[in-house]
Amino acid sequence: MAQNPQAFYELYRRSSIGMALTDTLDDLISDRRIEPQLAMKILANFDRSITEALAEKVKARLTFKGHLDTYRFCDEVWTFLIKDVTFKMDNQTQPVTAEKIRIVSCNAKRPGDPQ
């Protein structure tokens, strides 16, 4: 079944692996080794692949506590800014802390997607 390349969010492009991919594609375009249209297709495939891999392969669970600083809801996307966060993984005894984090949450089913 063919997927519409626009059916996946572009959230993971700002991750370290997404930034590395984007930088590499920019270099390839600058060196005239690939066309910009091919780079866009590669990024769309990355969006789909990373979303599917995280949904299917990651089984780890964690809990966290912190102080909610800001939240907003715009265009069906929730954004939470949380300060003084403590994370606890299921299989780790030592908690991990962070001064502040941002959580972006999108609906798994986008409006207009088939059921």
Domain coverage including residue 49? 5-57
Q: Is residue 111 part of a domain?
A: no
- Say what percent of the chain tops pLDDT 90: 63
Sequence-separated (6 or more) residues with CB below 8 Å from residue 98: 85, 87
Q: 24 and 48: one domain?
A: yes
Q: 39 and 80: one domain?
A: no
Read off the CATH number of the domain in which 49 is found: 1.10.287.190
- Our count of domains for the chain comes to 2
CB 62 within 8 A of CB 90: yes
Cα–Cα dist 91/93, whole Å: 7
Range 62-69 contact pairs with CB under 8 angstroms and sequence separation of 24 or more: 62/87, 62/88, 62/89, 62/90, 63/87, 63/88, 64/88, 66/101, 69/100
Q: 24 and 67: one domain?
A: no
> What is the tens place of the pLDDT at every residue in 10-62?
889 999 999 999 999 999 999 999 999 999 999 999 999 998 998 899 888 88
**Residue 58 identity:** V
Q: Is residue 37 part of a domain?
A: yes
Q: Is residue 41 part of a domain?
A: yes
